[in-house]
């Protein structure tokens, strides 16, 4: 558990560092990315938004979070999974030794030390003060280096013209995109679409909250139960955690 505490302390440090970085980002850009929050009000660096996925509650075959994400963010399947945007996907796992199975959603892990941000030549990939990793689609040149660098295959390249966009979520051909944790909803104090859909389906497998707030439900659960970061060996300090695998 002391390890968890250390991690939490790290989050705070990272939050402050990110806030310093954000001072450079013009407010206009932020407004474009998230229409809800006024331009003069920066993301709160005291927070670190995160998710905890309880794989014991996640149902094999249920795809509600995935559909909700597409609906919320304005994309759907064209029947070509290799080029369709897949901000979130369901992975079915089978332990090779025991045969035990798990089902879980995989999306951008909102790393505290995001490789996608490190490699991005223009700075289009960036981390908001509250830990959410985003792509500023106004300066993304579509080099796809971030996709090469992401260990989770969390990003998609927009291969063709976009239709039926949600005005809150600007998208465009030739840019890279990924899970925004529904930043436009968070800024309106709503839950991310996948979290809400999972709740509506009666599973409540995804818990959303502030990892920096010791009293939040997510922090308490992270402190009480064993949770894992996928590819913890890479030391990226992910904002999305898993329980039960």
**CA 58 – CA 240 distance, rounded (Å):** 15
Residues 6+ away with beta carbon under 8 Å from 219: 8, 209, 210, 211, 212, 213
Backbone angles phi, psi at 84, to 5 degrees: -70, 150
59 binds, among ligand SF4, other proteins, none (CB under 5 to 8 A by kind): none
In the complex, least distance from residue 99 CB atom to ligand SF4, rounded to whole angstroms: 29
- Give per-residue burial for 55-84: e unless 16+ CB within 10 Å, then b: bebbeeebebbbbbbbebbbbeeeeeeeee
In the complex, least distance from residue 52 CB atom to other proteins, rounded to whole angstroms: 17
Helix or strand holding residue 67 (H, E): helix 64-73
Residues 6+ away with beta carbon under 8 Å from 60: 92, 101, 103
170 binds, among other proteins, ligand SF4, none (CB under 5 to 8 A by kind): none
In the complex, least distance from residue 126 CB atom to other proteins, rounded to whole angstroms: 9
**Contact mark string toward other proteins, 141..170, x via CB under 8 A:** xxxxx-xxxxxxx-xxxxxxx---------
Residues 59-118 touching other proteins, rule: CB under 8 A, are: 66, 81-84, 86, 89-97, 102, 106, 115, 117-118
In the bound state with other proteins, the residue whose beta carbon lies nearer, of 45 and 55, is 55
Helix or strand holding residue 156 (H, E): strand 155-157
Two tokens at 26?
């013009």
189 touches other proteins by CB under 8 A: no
In the bound state with ligand SF4, the residue whose beta carbon lies nearer, of 41 and 122, is 122
In the complex, least distance from residue 74 CB atom to other proteins, rounded to whole angstroms: 16
In the bound state with ligand SF4, the residue whose beta carbon lies nearer, of 104 and 146, is 146
Which residues contact other proteins (rule: CB under 8 A)?
Answer: 66, 81-84, 86, 89-97, 102, 106, 115, 117-124, 139-145, 147-153, 155-161, 173-176, 230-231, 234, 245
């Amino acid at each position: 558990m002391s390890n968890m505490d250390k991690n939490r302390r790290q989050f705070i440090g990272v939050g402050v560092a990110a806030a310093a970085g954000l001072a450079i980002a013009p407010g206009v850009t932020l407004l474009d990315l998230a229409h809800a929050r006024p331009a003069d009000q920066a993301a709160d660096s005291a927070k670190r938004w995160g998710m905890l996925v309880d794989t014991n509650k996640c149902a094999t075959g249920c795809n509600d979070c995935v559909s909700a994400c597409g609906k919320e963010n304005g994309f759907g399947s064209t029947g070509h999974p290799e080029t369709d945007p897949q901000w979130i996907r369901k992975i079915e796992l089978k332990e090779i030794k025991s045969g035990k199975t798990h089902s879980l959603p995989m999306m951008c892990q909102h790393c505290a030390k995001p490789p996608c941000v490190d490699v991005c030549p223009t700075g289009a990939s960036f981390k908001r003060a509250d830990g959410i990793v985003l792509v500023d689609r106004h300066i993304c040149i579509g080099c796809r280096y971030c996709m090469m660098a992401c260990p989770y295959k969390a990003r998609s390249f927009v291969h063709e013209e976009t239709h039926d966009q949600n005005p809150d979520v600007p998208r465009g051909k030739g840019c890279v995109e990924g899970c925004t944790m529904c930043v436009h909803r968070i800024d309106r104090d709503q839950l991310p679409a996948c979290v809400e859909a999972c709740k509506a389906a009666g599973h409540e497998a995804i818990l959303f909250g502030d990892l920096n707030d010791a009293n939040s439900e997510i922090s308490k659960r992270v402190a009480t139960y064993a949770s894992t970061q996928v590819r913890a060996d890479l030391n990226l300090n992910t904002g999305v955690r898993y329980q039960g695998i």
